[in-house]
Amino acid sequence: METIKKSITSDGCREKLRAVHDTLDVLGGKWKIEIISALSFGKLRFMELQREVQGIGAKMLSKELRELELNELVSRQVCNTKPITVEYELSEYGKTLGNIIDEMIDWGMKHRERIKEQCAESAK
Amino acid sequence: METIKKSITSDGCREKLRAVHDTLDVLGGKWKIEIISALSFGKLRFMELQREVQGIGAKMLSKELRELELNELVSRQVCNTKPITVEYELSEYGKTLGNIIDEMIDWGMKHRERIKEQCAESAK
């Protein structure tokens, strides 16, 4: 175990773990990654966003969006329509999360395939 | 807005959002991604893992590890030492999460740099 202990306590590993922690600090909670994923396909109004992020309540969505705005990941635009509408979109900085989202899409798709195959196997 | 609505309700986008949702179903909660990150540097005993995932309690760590085992991402090995020790490591399937972790490391490091620069700016 000595080698392993040494490896994880090395500065490089500690720094990497801290980086994951920092990322999760910004993206933490049940919803933020899903909100960002939905916005990665283009701007959405509040109600549209609530429809896309299934299961989220209006109050929670509002809170999460405010936090994402504070971290400059999402921008909010009030449109001078009648009635007034509010649109949300990823900021340029928010778009830098694209790689994380892409990898999650990729993994989720493969995971679903794997589960399907396992179900097919066990049904044999 | 019509184009956007059309774009997000297209099958491709829905499927991608579902994939993100599936991934978060497996990795959800406050701790799993941090546990997997720590194990990505090599196998660890329970106590070592608890030290690396700062802030996690033993009961929660135990619960999270059990869920990760159920999803075949982590394997648990009881070692015939005196006293008996239990080691955890990423399974081959768990290692497929490497890209997500790597992207989170990358983003977290850049995010820290950005915050530092902003602090330096505002101190001027």
Residues B36 and B18 in one domain: no
Give the pair of three-digit tokens for residue A73: 């990941």
* DSSP notation for B87-106: EEEE-HHHHTTHHHHHHHHH
Do A108 and B23 count as a contact with CB atoms less than 8 A apart? yes
Residue B12: per-residue pLDDT: 83
Residue B71: per-residue pLDDT: 94
Residues B53 and B9 in one domain: no
Residues B25 and B50 in one domain: no
Question: CATH no. for residue A76?
Answer: 1.10.10.10
Do B17 and A8 count as a contact with CB atoms less than 8 A apart? no
ipTM for the complex shown? 0.89
Residue B105: per-residue pLDDT: 97
What is the rounded distance in angstroms from the CA atom of residue A44 to the CA atom of residue A90?
A: 10
Which residues face A86 on adjacent strands? Answer: A78
Residues B13 and B72 in one domain: no
Residue B1: per-residue pLDDT: 47
Show the domain range for A66. 31-123
Q: Is B106 exposed, middle or buried (0-12, 13-18, 19+ CB in 10 A)?
A: middle
pLDDT value at B2 more than 70: no
Residues B24 and B38 in one domain: no
Residues A13 and A50 in one domain: no
Q: Which of residues 61-100 of B touch A (CB under 8 A)?
A: 93, 96-97, 99-100
Residue A29 binned pLDDT confidence (cut-offs 50, 70, 90): confident
Residues A106 and A64 in one domain: yes
Residues A82 and A59 in one domain: yes
Residue A6: per-residue pLDDT: 53
Residue appearing with tokens 């936090």: A67
* DSSP notation for A5-72: HHHHHSHHHHHHHHHHHHHHHHH-SSSHHHHHHHHTTS-EEHHHHHHHSTT--HHHHHHHHHHHHHTT
Q: Which of residues 3-62 of A touch B (CB under 8 A)?
A: 3-5, 7-8, 13, 15-24, 26, 28, 30, 33-34, 37-38, 41-45, 48, 52, 54
Give the pair of three-digit tokens for residue A11: 């500065």
Which residues face B76 on adjacent strands? Answer: B88
Residues B52 and B22 in one domain: no
Residues A60 and A74 in one domain: yes
Residues B1 and B52 in one domain: no
What is the rounded distance in angstroms from the CA atom of residue A64 to the CA atom of residue B20?
A: 17
pLDDT value at B59 more than 80: yes
Helices A2-9, A11-27: axis angle to 10 degrees equals: 60
**Arithmetic mean of pLDDT over chain A:** 91
Report how many domains make up chain B: 2
Residues B15 and B39 in one domain: no
Which residue type is seen at A59?
A: K
Query: Phi and psi for B119 in degrees, rounded to 5?
Result: -65, -45
What is the rounded distance in angstroms from the CA atom of residue A115 to the CA atom of residue B46?
A: 28
Query: Dihedral of CA A22/B56/B76/A101: which sign?
Result: negative
Residue B123: per-residue pLDDT: 87
